[in-house]
C-alpha cells in the first residue's frame, strides 16, 4: 500500500499497469450489441487477423478462452506419459498434467535460471515440455538460438515443446518465435497481460495445422 493514499498495488497480478487501451474498451462496448447471438466458436475473423499479424495461415491458429484453456487442450491432445516443467514455473501446467495421470518431471533451475541443456538431457520420446518465455515468475528470456536448440533436440526424440509467451509483449526486441515453427512446437499467447483484460478470456495458439486440428477435436464450443 502506498504511503498515506490508501491505494493498494497488487503485484500478484502481472498486467499492463495502464489498464485497457481506449480502443479495446470501445470494441467491448460495441460487441454488447451482439450479446443476444451465439458467437462464432471457430473465431474465423479473429484467426484471419491473427494470421496476418503473425505471418502464418489461419488454419495454423487456434483461439481459446485464455492460455489456461489452451494448456488444457495440449494436455488432452498430446500428453502421454511424462511432462517436463522447470522446477519453478507457472502453476497451470502441473494440474493439466495431473488431470490425465501424467508423470511430472521437474527440471532443475540453478540460480533460478532455466538452462536449456538440462531440459535437453532429460528429454525422452513422447515427452511434452512446458516452457514460459519470458519466464514466469523470474522474467528470464531465452533468445532464438537457445530455443531453437531446444526445439531441435525435442524434434530428434519426437517430443513436443509448448512455448508459453503470455508475457512476450513486455520484452524489448523479442524475436518472432513462430519462425521456429516445426511439427513439434506449439506457441501459446495471451491478450490478457498486454491489454489488461483478465475478465475477457482470450488467448491463441500457433502451430502446424495438424496439431491445431488435434486440439480443435477436444475443444468445447
List per-residue pLDDT tens for the chain, 221 residues long: 445 567 776 666 788 888 899 999 999 999 999 999 998 888 999 999 999 999 999 999 999 999 999 999 999 999 999 999 999 999 999 999 999 999 999 999 999 999 999 999 999 999 999 999 999 888 999 999 999 999 999 999 999 999 999 999 999 999 999 988 778 999 999 998 889 998 888 999 999 999 999 999 999 88
How far apart are alpha carbons 175 and 178 in whole angstroms?
A: 9
pTM of the model: 0.91
Asked if residues 106 and 87 have their Cβ atoms less than 8 Å apart, the reply is yes
Q: How many CB atoms lie within 10 A of CB 173?
A: 6
Which domains are assigned to the chain?
43-217 (3.40.640.10)
Asked if residues 84 and 97 have their Cβ atoms less than 8 Å apart, the reply is no
What is the SS3 assignment for 96? helix
Amino acid at each position: 500500500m502506498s504511503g498515506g493514499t490508501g491505494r493498494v498495488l497488487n503485484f500478484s497480478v502481472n498486467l499492463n499497469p495502464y489498464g485497457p487501451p481506449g480502443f479495446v474498451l470501445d470494441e467491448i462496448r460495441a460487441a454488447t450489441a451482439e450479446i443476444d447471438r451465439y458467437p462464432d466458436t471457430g473465431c474465423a475473423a479473429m484467426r484471419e487477423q491473427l494470421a496476418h499479424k503473425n505471418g502464418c495461415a489461419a488454419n495454423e491458429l487456434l483461439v481459446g478462452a485464455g492460455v489456461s484453456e489452451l494448456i488444457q487442450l495440449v494436455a488432452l491432445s498430446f500428453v502421454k506419459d511424462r511432462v517436463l516443467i522447470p522446477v519453478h514455473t507457472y502453476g497451470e501446467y502441473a494440474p493439466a498434467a495431473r488431470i490425465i495421470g501424467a508423470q511430472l518431471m521437474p527440471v532443475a533451475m540453478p540460480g533460478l535460471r532455466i538452462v536449456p541443456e538440462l531440459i535437453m538431457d532429460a528429454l525422452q520420446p513422447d515427452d511434452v515440455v512446458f516452457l514460459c518465455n519470458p519466464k514466469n515468475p523470474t522474467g528470464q528470456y531465452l533468445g532464438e538460438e537457445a530455443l531453437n536448440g531446444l526445439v531441435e533436440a525435442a524434434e530428434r526424440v519426437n517430443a513436443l515443446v509448448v512455448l508459453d509467451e503470455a508475457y512476450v509483449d513486455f520484452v524489448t526486441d523479442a524475436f518472432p518465435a513462430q519462425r521456429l515453427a516445426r511439427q513439434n512446437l506449439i506457441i501459446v499467447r495471451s491478450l490478457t497481460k498486454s491489454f489488461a483484460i483478465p475478465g475477457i478470456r482470450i488467448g491463441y495458439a500457433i502451430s502446424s495445422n495438424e496439431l491445431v486440428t488435434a486440439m480443435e477435436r477436444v475443444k468445447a464450443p
